[in-house]
A and B are shown apart, each in its own frame.
Chain A
């Protein structure tokens, strides 16, 4: 099978840097809210054709996932999805709320809090991208859903005009635990080309 090298190593590094700056900003905001140190890092980044996406990129395929998604637009358009396993999402939210409530009792608040958490992370990554690539982006309101792995995959592969997927692993570390999730950007080939153009411009300026 032909291996697609859609992004060069340099472009990949630049993009990883942009997202890590965003993750840093998000961690700062979250730390302020929870009054405790929270770290966020994005150790790896991959670009794939959306048809290549299968259950392998999301570990534990039988689990249910909490997904926050926002559609954003600007020089390029994308659907950004932050995906955590439902269990991890609940644990993070419970830590943030510092409550004694048990997981199953959180249902109503969980949705709102998770939506905010996703909004913080996605906005921070988008604003870091806007700053570093000198662009301006706008976005829809965040929306939180609980879905199965198959549904997440379907969203990715079923999006007909968004042929490319940017997959970032995201590691959330708080005093109590470390959780892993994914940040997924769905892009059309035009949007990917535009994104690459802006990365090259950014690389040319440094």
Chain B
């Protein structure tokens, strides 16, 4: 038992796929409803005409070459959406807009041989819009996740995880290029007392203000600030001399002082201040530049806070 031909034609018109059949002279033999709906060219208007004269727009050279090769060698050809976008002038005509953009397509061209030995070409067209939409959605999700994974949710600056990754890269790049690298370890003075007196909500607000003030001091794309821990921040700046790095630390310290956030429990100035431990130099593999900056921060605390102490790499 087999399907009668007229049923087969109904099947071709029912499938959710564009179908065009051309003979060896490029004459259209068949044109299904799917193609009609996206061109408004009826099968009757297309049949017996050369494929490249049916459309009002010229067809791409790669598409015509693909048909030529398929007919010449009897080998099937695929045209991916990734490399060709929209070879055929097909449009979503259900949209009531004047704006016409071609449907993104993936095309498969297969040879067919009749029992009499005549060659035909079956051109199958699929609409890639859905997979492109899915790809775009996945990509934007992955961008959001990536951003979230690297951001400290309270302050909006980079988090410890991102810093650790970035530090490794910056450290090795400085070794390779024999370049200076400066690490600034920053701690808000008497922050525990601040929280105890003003409460955690106010404490969070201050952390945000300090993070923003420190961040606003950075101007180069190579520079980075991250929240290192509770009230600790870390900055990493390549290519500054020791003198420049010390000057920059002074600027950081002043930027927080100038915020003039009241802190009645601070024995220093009754306002929020920071201590900075700085380590700068041209690193080598075995140097612990982070550890030195941390040691410098400890000294800055010991020496009275609201100050910067610099230690060399060794």
Q: Give chain A's interface residues, CB within 8 Å of chain B.
A: 29, 32-34, 72, 93, 96-97, 101, 105, 108-110, 112-113, 115-116, 119, 123, 126-127, 130, 136-142
Contact = CB atoms under 8 A, between A and B. Distances in A.
Contacts of B108: 141
Given A96-B83, A141-B110, A115 B69 contact: no
Contacts of B164: none
Interface in B121-170: 131, 134-135, 138-139, 142
A97 to B, nearest CB: 6
A105 B73 contact: no
B162 to A, nearest CB: 17
A139 B82 contact: no
Interface residues of B, number: 27
Contact of B82 (A97, A105, A136, A141): A97
Contacts, number: 72
Contacts of A140: 76
Contact of A141 (B73, B78, B134, B138): B78
Nearest to A97: B82
B74 A136 contact: yes
Contacts of B79: 116
A138 B72 CA distance: 11
B72 A127 contact: yes
Please classify the interface of chain B as helix (H, G, I), strand (E, B), loop, or mixed, using the class held by over half of its residues: helix
A115 B78 contact: yes
B76 A105 contact: no
Given A109-B135, A112-B106, A141-B110, A123 B73 contact: yes
B80 interface: yes
Given A32-B62, A97-B82, 20 more contacts: A33-B83, A101-B139, A105-B139, A108-B131, A109-B81, A110-B82, A112-B80, A112-B81, A112-B82, A113-B82, A123-B69, A126-B73, A127-B69, A136-B73, A136-B74, A137-B75, A138-B111, A139-B75, A141-B110, A142-B76
A120 B253 CA distance: 63
A110 B142 CA distance: 17
B78 A142 contact: yes
A113 B73 contact: no
B128 to A, nearest CB: 8
Contact of B75 (A33, A105, A126): A126
19 contacts: A32-B61, A33-B62, A33-B83, A34-B83, A72-B75, A97-B82, A108-B131, A110-B82, A112-B81, A113-B80, A115-B78, A116-B80, A127-B72, A127-B75, A136-B74, A138-B111, A141-B78, A141-B108, A142-B76
A119 B108 CA distance: 11
B76 A141 contact: yes
A46 B145 CA distance: 48
Nearest to B134: A108
A87 to B, nearest CB: 18
A93 B80 CA distance: 11
Interface in B44-89: 61-62, 65, 69, 72-84
B83 A97 contact: yes
Q: Closest 10 interchain pairs by CB? A: A112-B80, A113-B82, A109-B82, A116-B80, A127-B73, A123-B75, A113-B80, A139-B75, A108-B135, A119-B78
A113 B142 CA distance: 22
B62 A105 contact: no
Contacts of B83: 33-34, 96-97, 113, 116
A138 B117 CA distance: 13
Contacts of B142: 105
A137 B135 contact: no
